[in-house]
Amino acid sequence: MANEIRIDDLREPVLNDVQRMGLDHGERVRTELTVDAVCEAAVARTGLDDFGPDDFRERLGVQLAEMDADPERTSLGRMLMFGDCTRYASNRLLIRDLLRRHPEILDVPIERPVIVIGLPRSGTTNLVNLLAADTRFRSMPLWESYEPVPNPHEPAEVDGVDPRWTRCQQAWEAMQAGAPFVAAMHPMEPDHVHEEIELMLPDFSSYNLEWVARAPHWRDHYLAHDQTPHYAYMKTVLQILQWYRPRERWVLKSPQHLEQIGPLMATFPDATVVVTHRDPVAVVQSTITMNTYGARTAYRTTRPEWYRDYWTDRIGRLLDASIRDRALLPADRTVDVFFHEYMADEMGTVQRVYDAAGIELSDTARAEIEAYRAAHPRGKEGRVVYDLRGDFSTTPEEVRSRFGAYLDAFPDVRIEVT
């Protein structure tokens, strides 16, 4: 097929001009990966200095120390890590300042959200974007998640476009140039609905770092600590977004929630929860291909087998936790969505979600969702061809052996990769 994408240089990357320029630029920049350096940069960016409770410094320190100690991390990778952390710390300052000036935000209700949880690469992104096409829902586009509170010192652009949107668009264009297959695997344009765990990052706690770095020490720290306070922080930022642009109900999504069902339901006890299911081998091969491909500029070597082993185990941990905590989900407000059924009948799946949430799928909402589907056909950016055997020196059977408990618990999951 003409739109098939075969990445045949995962192990020995052949860099394009933009990637080489990025690596060369990184070598000319000295990046200090310390908590103080990040906080000083955030203060300079915002003109604010009240970070609130300083417990975040320990979590940020764990993350930075792991990146700083890794000799495989390129100078560009270090620079990008510093830039992300500075943005998170800046957001923390802006959030703190806004709440000080408008304490009434903390009284804004977040009621009966619809939350999509499920494995990464299992249709969660597509499904949440379909639901978000119904303009009765409040959803969160990527640009808003990256900078939820505008910098009061920054005027709007002359043409009226929010400078936060412009920055997000520029980042997307840079990503497309520096990692041109990303669009086929995970779209990141500014108006694309994003995961709310982005709103935990100013509190420096989520599994997000694992997606952009080799971070087993951070994983262990994150899993060893109760995430309920960080879910509460995320809800506070949702209240801010609701205050800026009200809607009756939110639609949210993140695979992280699979292993944090307790904190999720403690934070949103009246939520309707949509659990997506897919052959874990299909999930693993997609995840490790994307992450190995992305490693070509962040790391000196791509190490496909590292990603194979790490993410086979990591997906297994997500699934094990979801089975352990399944009883915490409200039986009458939980919808299981199996990938093959969703692919065969997207609108039928949407109807089941609306029924569980007690929402009428009106003619207007149906038309909005159908318009989104028409504008976003499957494979629009191309379809990646995966090769576990050739690229990762393993077989589907070897990978699938990690997921016996999950496949026993959900026998309707259809095997895709053989």
pLDDT, mean of each 10-residue run, the chain (418 residues)? 82 95 95 98 97 98 98 97 98 98 98 96 91 97 97 80 93 88 81 95 98 97 98 98 96 97 98 97 96 96 98 98 98 96 96 98 97 86 89 98 98 96
Q: Phi and psi at residue 298, in whole multiples of 5°?
A: -85, -20
Task: Return the pLDDT at 175.
Answer: 87
CA distance 406 to 418: 18
Question: Shortest CA distance to 368 belongs to which of 251, 206, 243?
Answer: 251
CA distance 340 to 344: 6
3-state secondary structure of 221: helix
Tokens coding 24: 């060369």
Task: Return the pLDDT at 152.
Answer: 84
Tokens coding 148: 């939820």
Task: Return the pLDDT at 397.
Answer: 97
3-state secondary structure of 252: strand
> Interior CA angle at 145 toward 64 and 375, to 5°?
130
Domain boundaries of the chain, sorted by first residue:
4-409
Tokens coding 217: 């020490």
Look up the CATH architecture of domain 4-409: 3-Layer(aba) Sandwich (3.40)
CA distance 263 to 232: 9
CA distance 404 to 320: 10
Please, are residues 148 and 283 in contact by the beta-carbon 8 Å criterion? no
State CA 329 to chain mean position distance. 22
Provide the residue type at 239 as one letter. Q
Task: Return the pLDDT at 1.
Answer: 44
User: Which strand ranges, in their side-by-side order, compose the sheet holding 249-253?
Assistant: 137-138, 249-253, 114-118, 272-277, 334-338
Burial (CB count <10 Å: 0-12, 13-18, 19+), residue 204:
buried
Q: Which residues pair with 277 in a beta bridge?
A: 338
Please, are residues 410 and 277 in contact by the beta-carbon 8 Å criterion? yes
Task: Return the pLDDT at 154.
Answer: 85
With 0.85 as the threshold, say if the pTM is over it.
yes
3-state secondary structure of 362: coil
CA distance 1 to 17: 27
Q: Cβ of 149: how many Cβ atoms within 10 Å?
A: 23
